[in-house]
A and B are shown apart, each in its own frame.
Chain A
Amino acid sequence: NTIACDGDGGSVRRASCFFPRFPTGMSLIPRAAPAASMAFAGRDPAVISLLKMLPLLLLLTFSSAAAPPAAASPSAVHNNNWAVLVCTSRFWFNYRHMANTLSLYRTVKRLGIPDERIILMLADDMACNPRNNYPAQVFNNENHQLNLYGDNVEVDYRGYEVTVENFLRVLTGRHESAVPRSKRLLSDEGSHILLYMTGHGGDEFLKFQDNEELQSHDLADAVKQMKEKHRFKELLIMVDTCQAATLFSQLQSPGVLAIGSSMKGENSYSHHLDSDIGVSVVDRFTFHTLAFFEKLNMYSNASLNSLFNSYDPSMLLSTAYYRMDLYKRALNEVMERYIYF
């Protein structure tokens, strides 16, 4: 599906006028050229050399054409923020994962992103769970000072709807036509997206609701599709599970920053047990992330660097890992862009 190009070239979609959209997964370099050059190996050497240069020439053309999409980001101004917050665990003993996600939800709302730009996926209902002694209330601390559920929570994907398929559909934007707008990630090339996932995970996978997995290459493919479809300018992925860093091992798209709560071979631990509710109420990584954010308000000027520096491995009982090689800007500029407008 090619995009109609307007003649003035002023539209940021101009880059796609140079080449049609390939189906995802295929690279831009045509495969036939090297074989053709091999087939002609026994003939005219000049032809051979020309044919050998052909794939190189094509590569150059396409890479120069491919450069504008990456260079389109300077022309695409950051103009909106989105958050996709996913809790993948079900059952009462995974209360802390729900509390993690709701804590991030509350923080993100408090710092300025409205409900229309937040996709919240909760795999189970804890607040009105029959085992909850405090109906309609979810706490992330045993002092019960803060009710994370509040009065105005809007959950977009609930219960059995939180599946790997729906998650990938949200990221890539490939929904059935009947799906309503409030359940779609309607980001564009000027969006900064925060993707937060929590649950049980392991080496290169994240478990969804006890019967499905999201693997690291699934996530990397989805992010690659998002990049090709210009669905984000910058993407910050935060994952709070065991061995979270392995989930990012396949990522290759530029403009992606990834933070994981633990390295390969390490577990992420819960913070404390609430003896009134009866289960652990928050995980260590999220607890410290929140402790950092609670000190901020909409006008603060903190940067991601300070967030990273606030993680103390002895308090987390794991090594927080961040992947910055795909990210071009200096980290001390980063924070405001994500959360504030």
Chain B
Amino acid sequence: MMPPSTARRLCFLSLLLLLLLLAAAASATADAAAAEEFTEELLLRPLPDRKALAHFHFRSSAPPASAAGRHHHLFPKAISQLVQKFHISELELSFTQGRWNYEQWGGYDPMSTNNAKPPGVELWAIFDLPLAEIDATWKNLTHTLSGLFCASINFLESSTAFSAPRWGFKLNEGNLRYGALPREAVCTENLTPWLKLLPCRDKAGIASLLYRPSVYKGYYHSQKLKLKSSQSLGIILDQTLTVVLQPNTVSGKQLHSTGGQLQPSWSMEHLFSKKLSGKCLVSKSSRVFVEIEKGIVDNVDKAGSDVSSNNDLFVLSTAPDRSLKELDNLEVQSSSLYEYDVNNYNSDKPLNVGITWKLPLIWSCTRAPYHASRFLMGSGNERGSIAMSFLSTGLDKQLVDSSNDCSIKAVVFQVVPWYVKVYYHSLEVFIDGNSKAISEVVDKIHVTPSEDKLLPGTMEMLLKFPCSMQLATLTLDFDKGFLHIDEYPPDANQGFDIPSALVSFPEFNSSRSYPEADPLFVSPLLENFKEDGVVKSYTEVLLVPLTTPDFSMPYNVITFTCTVLALYFGSLLNALRRRIGEEERGLKKAGILNKRGLIPLLIAKLRGQKVDPSESESTSPASLPRSKLLLKVVFVAVVAIVFHYLSNS
């Protein structure tokens, strides 16, 4: 039987121990909740036109600053400093070369909605600041990004280069700024700093596959950085690189016994000249997905086999670790994903995912409701027209309703530089060849007209097309402006670019969900796919030839003017000062001209009177003006010397 004091002490100690354990557990969970994470994923997809799509997705997340302080071990410090300094709540920066082929590669899936970007550089940002400070912050942001990514993003700083759309691009309260540089080149120097933001860079993990010549030989490559920052969730940084490549297989065009052409069989080694030999060790998860589109799945179903990694139409080179099926709105299986966990592979057993086709197959990807394209009309250097066409792709709006007032909404956002002076009142709409009144088609329109050398012209339009429409065309007239000679780029005769217009279809949702029973399977790539996103497509960049001046004219003008002035002043001074023949007569009289050299001649001239009188005939009438001349010359010389000395000392 213990004495009561020791019992109390024991009680107290056990309580203390319990409290300590609880505190430790709490802090452990708090630490776990406040940790930085990095995941890397790669998605491969065969495309209908014998090409392959590779999509790299890297996500770094940092907890809110108050919890973690300023020390980062995975998250790139440059980005967190950027977010804090410029008060960014959302930012997207993309570098793209090539055009996304909406007809062949699809326009309805999350890949084309999120990763099909306009050529060149596109930057938009939403700031968490009072509206008056946003323009100055945008300017500093463009400079910082230009230093960070080795690109000329600083050209977006001036007000002629960016715009502030309210609802045409993304709904906001005026704190969004958007700018695009269509002619910006994208090369290795942009990829280098982008890769340096990753914890393993390109030394380990999925990023080690990026063989630069392969990436830049592709038909389309787009690297993108997307930031989201909030007080509660911290900063989430998504870096994606989307490449469309032609796999370099030896058997390029095989003919199958049935007479059709087989699609090229490729593997990761064909695409990148390397195999994947392990994951980045600090990444939370590292996965490779192979996506088999709905078109192929339908063909497999039609052929009668079940959709597994080895069926009658194709076989994957390695057995996947998991297979996910996408369920669309009607709970029907459309595309499927095969997942490989890179954790199971290392340098002894590298991962080389590939697909081999057994039977010839043709399929198509789902497209957006309309194929939007843009082109220029007119000729000459004075005026022209921008035309935008919407061609129906046959995607019925069967899910909504088939009544007579069925309509499809489209939102158009377009920024035109100030030297292409668009007349917004000249907007005309033609539906299936018939001209329609603007009020029938345009539901809402917001225009910020351009101001010379100050602002570009921004247009946001909400259009309503009838469902049965085949082709709609919008035209806008413009006048070509004149630039100051300093404002022309060095290759002015190439022309000037109008950045891509964005067409979005708000009633169509491009999200995809892949239900998975395993709660531990968390994939940021699939989370992005699941997010609600409207179907978007970018039109072409337009090249407008403007009048260029004759750049050699300033040189010509200077040369002509100086020649004329020199001739004028020269002849004037000659006419005023020179007496032709008088010098010779004077010297002949002095008798020196024929006898001595130049220096005695000059000395004799200056002396004037002091010439040997035996040789001179009559010097006295000429002596007085001569001495005056001498005095004047000496005076002018002295003044000149003094002035020269004073001005050059």
Contact = CB atoms under 8 A, between A and B. Distances in A.
Interface string B505-526: 0000000000000000000000
Interface of B: 97, 139-140, 143-144, 146-148, 150-152, 154-155, 157, 184-189, 192-193, 202, 212-213, 215-217, 488-491, 551, 642, 645-646, 649
Interface of A: 27, 29, 31, 34-35, 38, 55, 90-91, 125, 127-129, 134-137, 149-156, 158-161, 178-183, 209-212
A136 B215 contact: yes
A136 B140 contact: no
B192 A151 contact: yes
A90 B490 contact: yes
A182 B193 CA distance: 12
A135 B216 contact: yes
A153 B143 contact: no
B642 A159 contact: no
Given A128-B97, A135-B216, A136-B215, A181 B147 contact: yes
Contact of A149 (B186, B188, B649): B188
A159 B151 CA distance: 9
A203 to B, nearest CB: 15
Given A29-B649, A134-B213, A178-B157, A128 B186 contact: yes
20 contacts: A34-B645, A34-B649, A125-B187, A128-B186, A128-B188, A135-B213, A136-B212, A137-B213, A149-B187, A155-B189, A158-B150, A160-B155, A160-B489, A178-B140, A179-B143, A180-B143, A183-B147, A209-B490, A210-B490, A212-B490
Given A90-B491, A149-B212, 14 more contacts: A127-B187, A127-B188, A128-B187, A136-B187, A149-B187, A151-B188, A151-B212, A152-B188, A154-B193, A155-B150, A179-B143, A180-B143, A209-B490, A210-B490
Contacts of A38: 642
Given A31-B646, A135-B216, A158 B490 contact: no
Contacts of B192: 151-154
Contact of A35 (B150, B155, B646): B646
**Secondary structure at chain A's binding surface: helix, strand, loop or mixed?**
loop
B217 A135 contact: yes
> Which residue among A55, A91, A154 has the maximum number of chain B CB atoms within 10 Å of its CB?
A154
A137 B214 CA distance: 11
Contacts of B144: 178, 180
A31 B642 CA distance: 12
Given A210-B490, A211-B490, A125 B147 contact: no
Nearest to B193: A154
Contacts of A129: 185
A57 B501 CA distance: 72
A229 to B, nearest CB: 22
B185 A159 contact: yes
Contacts of B184: 159
Contacts of B187: 125, 127-128, 136, 149
Contacts of A34: 645-646, 649
Contacts of A154: 150, 189, 192-193
A55 B649 CA distance: 10
A224 to B, nearest CB: 16
Contacts of B202: 151
The 7 nearest A-B residue pairs measured at CB? A180-B147, A125-B185, A128-B187, A135-B216, A178-B143, A136-B216, A209-B490
Contacts of B154: 161, 178-179
A266 to B, nearest CB: 24
A137 B188 CA distance: 9
Contacts of B649: 27, 29, 31, 34, 55
Contacts of B186: 128
B188 A153 contact: yes
